[in-house]
Structure 1
Amino acid sequence: MSENSVNTLAPAADDLFWQANSELITESDEQLARIVDQADLPALLAAIAAATSNTAILAEELRPPLTPVDTKNHPHGGMGEEAVLKGKAVALSGLIQLRDQQITATPALQPQAAEEILAYLSNGHSEWADMLKHELSILPENSGAPTWQYEDFAVAGKEFTALIVGSGVAGIAAAHRFAQAGVPFEIIEASARLGGTWQKNKYPGVRLDTPTFGYSYSFAQKADWPHQFAQGEEVREYLETVAAKAGLSGKIQYGTRLISATWDEAAGQWEAVISQDGNGVETRRFNALISASGQLDIPNIPEFPNRDKFAGIQMHSQEWDSSVDWRGKKVAVIGTGASAYQIVPAIYQDVEELVVFQRNAPWMLPAPAYHQEVSETFSWLVRKVPHYAQWFRLWTTVLGIPGRFHTVRAEENWPQAPLSVSRKNHQVREELIDLLREQFEGHPDLLKHAIPSYPPGAKRMLRDNGVWAQALKAEHSTLEVSPIVEFTETGIMTADGVHHEVDIVIYATGFKPSDYLDGIEIVGREGLRIHDYWQADARAHNGVTVPGFPNFFMVYGPNVGGVVAGSLHFMLERASEYALKAIHEVLKRDAKALSVTQEALDRFTAWVDAENRQMAWGQPYVKTWYQNSKGRVSQVWPFTNIEYWEATESVRPDEHEFLR
């Protein structure tokens, strides 16, 4: 094995899944040529350039143009036919070099080389570079890991402890970053297992509706995912493994719920009332409170008349009872959103009868690989090209930055409203309708109800590989669009006078996402309750801090949620890192706490609201769960990850009051 196989970077990498060496390449030139033919070129060329320390192969003519995606992804980021042919030749030559020189590891990247590779992947978007370095674990000095340690500020007789509430995706991100900085913390979880929504949602068919490699932490870049869109159990196992590798598993206090937290101005602490396993309550004190309880956690079950009279089984998708055998039964699914789209295709073949109650049809983006495993070629690249998985994840991140914003931005006085919001949006609408026509060919009665009556992007768009249409077209399936009037002892009556006899009712009716901190009483300065402050309109500066609530930080707070671009994990990591930066500012100043100003929040809210009003989901004629009860879009981040990177890059002293 050559000198090139020696890994000089592994000890410093900010990646819990770091692998020092890949396997040796032993395949013939012909076999390598077949692999290149099936590979995603930009990610492969970037990995080869890094492993061979030769960025000269990334010629200008081979740069992916990042052609905007309307409905279907463009292979290789939109590279032209000639560029693809040249790129394949360069990639083949690179793989042969890796084989012949027995290169199994990437040497430490020099800053200039890193800049050149990032410029290649991003088509010269230098303003993306810092964010991309954060996402690339093989550049540890630019990762999200804190550059300071709590012990540097520790003062004898003075302690600082944080409480992290929740051990889902957000809570694990926060706990890991706090642990890296050495900040003392406790982490509590109301459930019996970690994982948040992924340990609660266990219904048939549950899986990601975003590509797997875009749904992972920068500090935990798992390479051997089995599916292109990970199944629910795979995500749960990933989170459990991350917690174990980060040393968090034994620190989580399960069955422990935060009842209330009250700010003690004199002490500069939060007085938290906590219930453990339902066995009474106790009071603990913390200097900082981090809410990582998530958005999609409170089931929304409509108050249908006489629902309590139904003698059969009822369950919400998040409260799936695995002891219930639905096979051979008459099943009703209420709702046609994300969970219904997964449940219905998973069960329809095994039930006696299926009736799907639809209020609004969903828009669906084509995703042919939605249920597919990763290809043999991809697995080979992950195993044998040094750090290919990291570069592929970064490439996924690059493609997600611009996303599909261009398809959902509204044009003023657009004549096709409310069916579309712009020329491009209308074009997308027509393309998606054409796909629906193909899927429902021969079923005009279903097609007319499968076409949504609102603009694409106004609500969450699902992933479509044809299984939804297939399930609805089954002889024993019924799509019911007449409103539900009432439940009976044996079924459901609709407004058209039809009575549907069913054994099981599944509520795929979503959640109450705008009810942040529902069930928890947070009392800030001068006895102000956070729900009284919000008045049903949750707002937080950068989605993290709230005026009058010192050292209180939300991870996955209001307006921290991308829908047509970006990465949720990135947003949650940045929110966690922003909270840690704020605590760093408090410790540096030997203050008790910091509190964001009302002026800062007002500026942030005005900025976000103005942009949301330009989007499909912000139009006055659109009703969506992105909006709260006041009609304000409180769930969605209307920019890219770049803007959130910039917003959370530093904690500005002039936007905060420091309490002493």
Structure 2
Amino acid sequence: MEDVIPIADTEPAASEQALIGAALETADINALRVALYQVTGNEELAAMRLQRREVRDGAAFVEVVAPADVPRVKALATEYLLRRRESPVPPPPDRTEQRRLVELLVGGPMLDAEFAMAVEELAMATHPHDAEWTTGRPSGKVDEFHVVVVGGGISGIAAAVQLKRLGVSFTVVEREPTVGGVWRRNTYPDARVDSPSVGYQFKFMQDFRWSEPYPSQGEILKYLDTVVERYDLAPHFRFGLEVTAARWDEECNTWEVSLADREGEQGSLVANVVITACGLFNMPKLPDVPGMDTFRGTILHSSAWPDSTVLQGKRVAVIGNGSTGVQLMPRVGEAAEFMAVFQRTPSWIVPVDSYKATTSPAEHWLLDALPYYWNWHVLSSFIADSRLFLGAQKYDRAWQADGGLISAANDKLRRYLTSYITSRMAPRPELVDKLVPTYAPLGRRVVADNGYYSTLLRDNVELVTEDIERFTPEGIVTVDGSERQFDIVVAATGYHVMRYLWPADYVGRDGQTLSETWRPQGPRAFVGMTVPGFPNLFMMGGPNGQPRAGNFHSWAETFARYIASAVVHMIENDVHSIEVRSDVFDDYNRRLDEAFTEIIWSTEAAGGYYKVEKGMGAVSMPWEHYEFHDLVRCFDVEAFILK
């Protein structure tokens, strides 16, 4: 039976009419329309037509309520909200009715696979990604089973919630002193996520109210701490411990997981199943430049930003202009006496509305006051975001044959972003050619503009595009022979994303290590989660485990469900080891490689982490998001060898 979503009976402020008006000014009108229709049944709302609105100069589109109907939606919403206390709240609709409503939201029919993903984003059940026991929890068998989860970030927390709800014994090992993963480590100035908060959250906690449309690092930690507290996960965590190795015991069908604390003290855990949730961004990558060890100033990686860092009156170099570099540069440029921005390859940088805004009390009030509006707002945002760039990620061979570069959508996006750069740099037109990338948009990760171009216009900021030749005791020398002196060098140079499960090496059957298995072709996995020869080992966000679209937390819940479903099958059926079949693994990766040939990362991602040294993608997956979701929505027992 599905959980019923609790609806808050929130008393509005003094002027209810004014509060409602303010709330509706911020509302997602299409989501508002469908939520109202669900609770009122007013067919006038269902009859309203949607219009396709182009965004980013035609590179993408969104479906919106026809402008002529917007005032009527607001009027009906006002009428309902004024009398909401007397209006009964209907229970969540069944799956058939949910499909009708979802198709009303999008303006037409959906594929079955699209709807299967959309209905989980809609989250009418408060735990839409739950794994479940077939006939109830088998207490005796469960009590003898233990799972080790490696990593206490978003993915590790998602796995912990799944296991907690199933009543399976587990331990989460986290090397930091508390939860948060990458968001605990990255405290550099203006650290924040570049995805909207409406999607950057778990579906099993629907009442957290974000204060920012794009949450900052501190608020993300607050959110994760709230999840841990609500689900009483803290007793299952062991902090300050790092997994150094793990070895499969063929006789016992268990993993021995070796641990070390910060003082070097050793320990171990025995697990029936290991789930790694280390994430891509766990091993910082520093520049490899001669003379770094001679530099007398401070070199710090963006992921290890000391609270004591003083920028005022300092000469600062920032190396790297990806998402992190672009986020921290404005604050560094404001504080420093002088800042040089060392750019090897320019990024495509996109303007984002409300990137550093705050969420109003009226917006929070509407989420609480209108039943199911949260659900439809979340789904509406998911659909809009997932459609935003998908058409620009694939080659259009006919378009190319007619002289186009990539596709109509990608070429329009290129023109839009080039125009944006040109307009922002109008006072310094000589920098435009240096800032416009030569590769296609989306070939690398698109970066949200945090004031990057405005910062480059400051008198105390210099853009340096010459390659770095070496460090000196006083600063940095570029290949043109110029030397610039610095007190601090900030390395916003990313992570070794291909070093999955670092720093531990996993030893599977016959003494084969995972690093040895991956050496010939690079990291490979079945559905991004498991590898032949390594039974009872699952990865969250493993090789090719980053979908092309969708919300990160929802994917974490989806992967956690897949793995937890495998655990359920093992316990219920007295299975001691579970290992993906080699033929299934090989066929999956063959199809994956074929699909990659139609994605622009195969030619446009050189130098970025979308494409690795061996020429294949090993981070993202090439299929449409709903196609990949269809592969991982249910645990496929036929793909595995069970013993």
Alignment of 1:48 onto 2:42 = no
Taking the aligned partners of 2:84 and 2:342, their CA distance within structure 1 comes to 61
Q: Percent identity?
A: 26
Alignment of 1:262 onto 2:247 = yes
Alignment of 1:513 onto 2:462 = no
Contact 1:418–1:455 under 8 Å retained in 2:
no
User: How much has 1:610 moved relative to structure 2?
Assistant: 2.1
Deviation string 1:612-636 (CA, Å, 9 cap, x unpaired) is: 2212212277332112232210111
Taking the aligned partners of 1:28 and 1:233, their CA distance within structure 2 comes to 32
Alignment of 1:188 onto 2:176 = no
Partner of 1:12: 3
Q: Secondary structure at the match of 1:355?
A: strand
Taking the aligned partners of 1:94 and 1:288, their CA distance within structure 2 comes to 50
Q: After alignment, is 156-165 or 218-227 more displaced? A: 156-165
Task: Give the partner amino acid of 2:523.
Answer: A
Partner of 2:125: 139
Partner of 1:21: 9
Structure 1 204/244 Cα, relative in aligned 2: closer, same or farther at 3 Å?
same
Taking the aligned partners of 2:586 and 2:371, their CA distance within structure 1 comes to 47
Task: Give the partner amino acid of 1:406.
Answer: G
Indicate which of 485, 488, 498 corresponds to 1:504. 488
Indicate which of 444, 447, 463 corresponds to 1:459. 444
Deviation string 1:526-576 (CA, Å, 9 cap, x unpaired) is: 11111111116111111111111111110111112245x222222211111
Contact 1:24–1:99 under 8 Å retained in 2:
no
Partner of 1:627: 611
User: How much has 1:133 moved relative to structure 2?
Assistant: 2.5
**Which residues of 2 match residues 37-436 of structure 1 at below 5 A?**
37-50=25-38, 52-54=39-41, 56-63=43-50, 65=52, 69-70=55-56, 77-79=62-64, 83-102=66-85, 106-111=89-94, 112-123=96-107, 124-125=109-110, 127=112, 128-140=114-126, 143-148=128-133, 152-155=137-140, 159-375=144-360, 377-412=362-397, 420-436=405-421
Taking the aligned partners of 1:385 and 1:298, their CA distance within structure 2 comes to 44
The alignment's C-alpha RMSD in Å is: 2.7
Q: Secondary structure at the match of 2:85?
A: coil
Deviation string 1:158-196 (CA, Å, 9 cap, x unpaired) is: 711100011001100000011111111111101111100
Contact 1:150–1:182 under 8 Å retained in 2:
no
User: How much has 1:64 moved relative to structure 2?
Assistant: 6.0
Deviation string 1:61-93 (CA, Å, 9 cap, x unpaired) is: 33465x575568989x3336xx23224303321
User: How much has 1:435 moved relative to structure 2?
Assistant: 1.0
Deviation string 1:215-267 (CA, Å, 9 cap, x unpaired) is: 11111234421111111111111111111111112321001111111111121
Structure 2 gaps, min length 5: none
User: How much has 1:391 moved relative to structure 2?
Assistant: 2.5
Taking the aligned partners of 1:338 and 1:501, their CA distance within structure 2 comes to 25
Contact 1:104–1:385 under 8 Å retained in 2:
no
Taking the aligned partners of 1:311 and 1:470, their CA distance within structure 2 comes to 31
Partner of 2:580: 596
Q: Secondary structure at the match of 2:48?
A: helix
**Which residues of 2 match residues 528-567 of structure 1 at below 5 A?**
528-535=512-519, 537-563=522-548, 565-567=549-551
Q: Secondary structure at the match of 2:244?
A: strand
User: How much has 1:493 moved relative to structure 2?
Assistant: 0.6
Task: Give the partner amino acid of 2:622.
Answer: P
Contact 1:33–1:92 under 8 Å retained in 2:
no
Partner of 1:642: 626
Q: Secondary structure at the match of 1:272?
A: strand
Taking the aligned partners of 1:13 and 1:182, their CA distance within structure 2 comes to 22
Contact 1:48–1:95 under 8 Å retained in 2:
no
Partner of 1:475: 459
Task: Name the count of aligned residue pairs.
Answer: 639
User: How much has 1:363 moved relative to structure 2?
Assistant: 0.2
Structure 1 gaps, min length 5: 1-8
Structure 1 37/362 Cα, relative in aligned 2: closer, same or farther at 3 Å?
same
Contact 1:571–1:644 under 8 Å retained in 2:
no
Task: Give the partner amino acid of 1:409.
Answer: K
Structure 1 62/422 Cα, relative in aligned 2: closer, same or farther at 3 Å?
closer
Partner of 1:36: 24
Taking the aligned partners of 2:619 and 2:239, their CA distance within structure 1 comes to 28
Task: Give the partner amino acid of 2:124.
Answer: I
Contact 1:338–1:462 under 8 Å retained in 2:
yes
User: How much has 1:655 moved relative to structure 2?
Assistant: 1.3
With the length of structure 2 as denominator, give the TM-score of the two structures: 0.93
Q: Secondary structure at the match of 1:78?
A: strand
Q: Secondary structure at the match of 2:148?
A: strand
Deviation string 1:401-445 (CA, Å, 9 cap, x unpaired) is: 333111121134876999942333122111111111110003122
Structure 1 419/616 Cα, relative in aligned 2: closer, same or farther at 3 Å?
farther
User: How much has 1:149 moved relative to structure 2?
Assistant: 7.6
Q: After alignment, is 643-652 or 469-478 more displaced? A: 643-652
Contact 1:274–1:282 under 8 Å retained in 2:
yes
Taking the aligned partners of 1:225 and 1:59, their CA distance within structure 2 comes to 30
Taking the aligned partners of 2:268 and 2:25, their CA distance within structure 1 comes to 62
With the length of structure 1 as denominator, give the TM-score of the two structures: 0.91
Taking the aligned partners of 1:640 and 1:346, their CA distance within structure 2 comes to 37
Partner of 1:4: none
